[in-house]
Amino acid sequence: THFGYDTVDVNEKQKKVADVFHSVAAKYDVMNDLMSGGVHRIWKRLTIEQSGVRAGGTVLDIAGGTGDLTMRFSRLVGPTGKVVLADINDSMLKVGRDRLYDRGITGNVEFVQANAQSLPFPDNTFDVITIAFGLRNVTYKDQALASMARVLKPGGKLMVLEFSKTDNPVLTKLYDFYSFNILPQMGQMIAGDAESYKYLAESIRMHPDQDTLKGMMETAGLTSCKYQNMTGGIVALHTGIKP
Q: Are 199 and 23 in contact (CB under 8 A)?
A: no
Shortest Cβ 55–ligand SAM spacing (Å): 23
Given a contact cutoff of 8 angstroms between Cβ atoms, the answer to whether 161 and 210 are in contact is no
Instruction: Write out the binding residues.
Output: 66, 87, 115-116
Between residues 40 and 165, which has the closer beta carbon with respect to ligand SAM?
40
User: Are 167 and 122 contacting, i.e. CB atoms less than 8 angstroms apart?
Assistant: no
Q: How far is the CB of 170 from ligand SAM (least distance, A)?
A: 26
* Smallest separation, CB 87 to ligand SAM (Å): 5
Cβ proximity to ligand SAM: between 148 and 217 the closer is 148
Give the footprint of ligand SAM on this chain (CB under 6 A): 17, 21, 62-66, 68, 87-89, 92, 115-117, 132-134, 137-138
Least Cβ distance, residue 109 to ligand SAM (angstroms): 14
What is the 8-class DSSP label of residue 55?
Answer: T
Residue 83: DSSP 8-state: E
Q: How far apart are CA 114 and CA 87, in angstroms?
A: 5
> Which one, 56 or 97, has the nearer CB to ligand SAM?
97
Please state whether beta strands 82-87 and 223-230 pair in parallel, antiparallel, or not at all (unpaired): unpaired
